[in-house]
Structure 1
Amino acid sequence: MNFRVVSALICCGLALAQKKPVEEAWDLLAAGKREQAVRVLREITKVNANDADARLLLGSVLAEDGNRAESIPLLQDAVRLRPNSAEAHHALGEALHSFGERKASRAEFATAVKLDPGFGQAQADLGSALFDAGELAVAAEHLDRAIQIFGRSGDAAYPRYLRAKIYSERGENEKAAADLSQAVALRPDFAEAWSDLGQTCKLRMDDAGALAAFQRAVMLSPDDGVAQTRLGAEYLSQGKAHEAVPHLQEATRLNPENQTALYSLQSALRDDGRIAEAQEVKERLVELLRKRDRASENALRAIQLNNQGAALEKDGKLGEALEKYQSALALAPEHVGIRTNVAAALLRLGKWKEGIAELRESLRREPDNPALQTALKDALSKTPAKRE
């Protein structure tokens, strides 16, 4: 699901017809004069606090530019001014999704669909959000509705692509192949759909179809490491080791830690008589596996240190607990739970600046976490003014 400002522009089209300043901004955007359009829209929002169209359009443009701080409040204002507008809720959902706020975006898509069940893009985006959340059965319902609404238009390609993934999860390969075939027919440049079609053909024992689909995927998206890996592996499985090598080499260049590509490349080089190169790749593969083993060991050790910290904190030994938490975090910096424990210990020790910084970092990594949102708000409200 890609965030597209054009959807927000189209959504507010009817209202724009009666608002010449906003219409001017529309024309500037269409002419590629983005900065001028933003200036016009900013001026409108300053003069008229109740102009939902200007807020909707400006918020969408700024969100596409990656400006969360300004875009989300503007789109929330548009929703406040037009609570029954499916288009406004959808635009806010798209913006939230673009900033990784999945739970909040899904709620906006759900509201948009409730307000207007015939809004195809909202149905598609809600289906996609539910798919990402692993709620496949409910996702399928919304994707099917989007497909029905879009009909034979190119907009139906992505919902069909996702619908095929759900069929594949259920082992319904014939249905998956049918939807993927429709997706690439509607959008012949849809590289990911071609790649998945190749996988489906392979499961259906259609080697020729698989190879053709993988070739098309790589032609359309040569920087897609998955597509390169799949094509190389297919050449190898068909006894064409020499043809497999360049694709597998490209896959490992794109992702040096692609274990599947490294393993296949080693086999392809060996089958192609390039023994020394195959041995070199084997050594890279062995080192990668060692690295992953070390990462697993670090993760396990981090959990142990975190648990020791929790036990010390329970005994009232907060300073010692903080040391354990910080040691654990050094081993597992991506672990939000451990980072939150560090933050809580810092705050309890009166180290407000450091504690709040860790809470903010935790929330940056998990922006939809309501417990973290509440904890940060609470910490900020209790921070001594002189430390703020």
Structure 2
Amino acid sequence: MVSPSFKPMRQLVVLLASAVACCGLAIAQSTDARSSRWHQRQGVAYLDQHNLARALDEFRSAVRLNPRDAASRDYLGVALAESGQPDQAVVEFQKSIDLSDSFAPPHFHLGLAYDRMGRSSDAIAEYEATLFREPGLLDARYALSAACWKRGDRAGAITLLRQVLRQHPPFAAEVHYNLGLELREQGELDEALRELKTAVEIEPHSPKFQAALGQALAERETPGAAVEALGKAVALAPNTAEYRYDLAEALRLRGDFDATQSEFQTTLKLDPRYPRAHRQLGVVLRQRGDYKAAVAQLEQAVTDDPQDAEARYALGSALLKLNDPERAIAQLSQAARLDPYDSGSRIALAGALRKVGRTQEAQEQMKRAQTIDELKANAGRSRVLLGSAADHLKKGEVDAALDELHQAVSLSPDYADAHLELARASMRKGAPPAEVIKILRRVIDLKPDEAQGHLELGLLLERTGAAEAAGELKRSLELAPSLIEAHRALGKMALAARDWATARSEFSAILAWDWNDRDARAELSIAQARQNHRSN
């Protein structure tokens, strides 16, 4: 299945009239100022025509005649960025911001430039700065959603995409599509299907949208509808191997092995090295009893990707059917090494070992398979306990929740989500902070990229006055920019330290996400007043 992806962000080109209005400049009606504005208008016209060389000349003339015009600096930065000169573009955007910090477009364009340069944290900060200054700027909100997706902040991306849709954007189909992909990643399949169906209704001739809908329908185990949607994607783009592959998988789910085989073969004609196509064709051939043909496909699969445990398992199983246990043992051993938590490959390996008289080794593999199955059973039980504990907590039954959470972490000591929920329940029970901090540190040891764990640890450390609190809160924001409570805590810490600039930055970031956050607005006013007082 295809991973979610966003189209490149639209480059926002601000028209002269709105640019001047936004930055509040009062351009003197001198000859130079009038000439500067004329060159600026010419530059915009060339930029619209994608004549970047002429646009650059015009914007440079505009800046030379009026070097304090923030809009001209911003336009020059846009033209430089589009010309493949991001470093020089960044300089111009920063100069535009220095001239008029309240002017939103250069913040947004600077964010785009940072994004292209791989400076994601700086890009996010600039998108937030843009939205604080101009909350209705759709392109900035959409760009921030993409940045959150790249960081793995699914909740943040979903929140932003829903905010974009409330503003009825002209590119609504694309937003519904991306929201559907995000919801599917989160396991919200019914909502994902609604969004993807909406995208298809708006743009029925988009093969990408049809394919995404088909994939979600296949995951929903409605293969008939999945085949229909993916068939439309293939009809719209018949030479796209990705859509052929996905159609083949949907046909396999429906049990139509003739059509499945044909589509996998077409996939490989279009792209002989398409990932997993040789493996899946081999699996189908094995299911149909054509073991020699299956082996040929599966051998190609492991040649293309030696780390593919599933291909090695399927190849070993096919070799066993051809009564070639020695080669089967080699492949199944590799499968077990590559995926140590798959009991199936060990059971098959035990069967191959018994065929060649290696009984003791076969028994050892069966014991390992049994241990793996027990671990999986414990993990399943732990998930059930975690769900039940969450229900108890909603009802205020903290003791019952704690009992089940202790059982869950006992069954699965490496289950980070259970430890995190245990920390929360312990906090509600009134456990000493040191005890909760210890549990939260265990969460982070098990899952270093658990943003919520860093946030909750940082908040608790801040309450106890620990110096490392700020580091944990900043780390949570690196992982999930949408965690506004981390911004709030950092802002309050900055206020206490009389670091007014940092306080302003943190509370402004909250307002970029939620313009109606009254507490953040009040704290921001305090920071601004204190900073202005110090400046005076």
Q: Answer yes or no: same fold by TM over 0.5.
A: yes
Aligned to 2:149: 63
Query: 1:362-373 residue pairs with structure 2 within 5 A?
Result: none
TM-aligned CA distance change 1:136 to 1:342, over 3 Å: farther
Which moved further from structure 2: 78-87 or 34-43? 34-43
Aligned to 2:289: 205
TM-aligned CA distance change 1:223 to 1:100, over 3 Å: farther
TM-aligned CA distance change 1:141 to 1:343, over 3 Å: farther
Following superposition, the deviation at residue 303 of structure 1 comes to 8.1
Following superposition, the deviation at residue 147 of structure 1 comes to 1.6
SS of 1:191's equivalent in the other structure is coil
Query: 1:258-277 residue pairs with structure 2 within 5 A?
Result: 258-272=342-356, 275=358
Following superposition, the deviation at residue 229 of structure 1 comes to 0.4
Consecutive unaligned residues in structure 1, runs of 5 or more: 366-388
Aligned to 1:292: 373
Distance in 1, matches of 2:79 and 2:185, equals 25
1:214 is aligned to 2:214: no
TM-aligned CA distance change 1:44 to 1:165, over 3 Å: farther
Residue-by-residue CA offset, 1:132-179 (whole Å, 9 max, x unaligned) = 122222222221221212221234234323323323xxx321111111
**Letter aligned with residue 366 of structure 2:** L
Q: Tell me which of 20, 23, 33 is aligned to 2:117.
A: 33
Residue-by-residue CA offset, 1:62-109 (whole Å, 9 max, x unaligned) = 312323465334333332233562012212333344455444433321
TM-aligned CA distance change 1:87 to 1:180, over 3 Å: same
1:142 is aligned to 2:226: no
TM-aligned CA distance change 1:22 to 1:68, over 3 Å: farther
Aligned to 2:333: 249
Distance in 1, matches of 2:145 and 2:244, equals 27
| 2:346–2:368 Cα contact (<8 Å) kept | no
Aligned to 1:2: 2
Identity %: 23
Aligned to 1:166: 253
| 1:143–1:160 Cα contact (<8 Å) kept | yes
Distance in 2, matches of 1:321 and 1:284, equals 39
Distance in 1, matches of 2:300 and 2:190, equals 35
**Aligned CA-pair RMSD:** 4.8
Distance in 2, matches of 1:344 and 1:191, equals 44
Distance in 1, matches of 2:404 and 2:344, equals 35
TM-aligned CA distance change 1:193 to 1:13, over 3 Å: farther
Following superposition, the deviation at residue 45 of structure 1 comes to 4.1
Aligned to 2:180: 93
TM-aligned CA distance change 1:23 to 1:101, over 3 Å: farther
Matched residue count: 347
Which moved further from structure 2: 284-293 or 107-116? 284-293
Following superposition, the deviation at residue 221 of structure 1 comes to 2.0
TM-aligned CA distance change 1:25 to 1:40, over 3 Å: farther
Aligned to 1:374: none
SS of 1:251's equivalent in the other structure is helix
Distance in 1, matches of 2:242 and 2:11, equals 19
TM-aligned CA distance change 1:102 to 1:233, over 3 Å: same
Which moved further from structure 2: 240-249 or 100-109? 100-109
SS of 1:82's equivalent in the other structure is coil
Aligned to 2:528: none
**Letter aligned with residue 124 of structure 1:** A
Q: Tell me which of 225, 229, 233 is aligned to 2:317.
A: 233
Which moved further from structure 2: 40-49 or 110-119? 40-49
Consecutive unaligned residues in structure 2, runs of 5 or more: 15-46, 49-73, 87-111, 444-449, 451-536
**Letter aligned with residue 38 of structure 1:** A
Aligned to 1:378: none
Aligned to 1:370: none
Aligned to 2:533: none
TM-aligned CA distance change 1:76 to 1:293, over 3 Å: closer
| 2:382–2:411 Cα contact (<8 Å) kept | no
| 1:126–1:139 Cα contact (<8 Å) kept | yes
Distance in 2, matches of 1:68 and 1:200, equals 35
Distance in 2, matches of 1:299 and 1:92, equals 29
Residue-by-residue CA offset, 1:4-29 (whole Å, 9 max, x unaligned) = 54x4228x589998696778777668
Aligned to 2:361: 280
Distance in 2, matches of 1:88 and 1:321, equals 42
1:82 is aligned to 2:168: yes
| 1:8–1:91 Cα contact (<8 Å) kept | no
| 1:106–1:130 Cα contact (<8 Å) kept | yes
Distance in 1, matches of 2:360 and 2:3, equals 45
Residue-by-residue CA offset, 1:181-213 (whole Å, 9 max, x unaligned) = 122222322232221111211233322321111
TM-aligned CA distance change 1:108 to 1:192, over 3 Å: same
Distance in 2, matches of 1:78 and 1:112, equals 14
SS of 1:8's equivalent in the other structure is coil
| 2:325–2:355 Cα contact (<8 Å) kept | yes
TM-aligned CA distance change 1:342 to 1:324, over 3 Å: farther
Which moved further from structure 2: 109-118 or 88-97? 88-97
Distance in 2, matches of 1:184 and 1:70, equals 38
TM-aligned CA distance change 1:53 to 1:282, over 3 Å: same
| 2:398–2:425 Cα contact (<8 Å) kept | no
Distance in 2, matches of 1:24 and 1:140, equals 46
| 1:144–1:163 Cα contact (<8 Å) kept | no
Distance in 2, matches of 1:160 and 1:301, equals 36
Q: Tell me which of 110, 114, 135 is aligned to 2:201.
A: 114
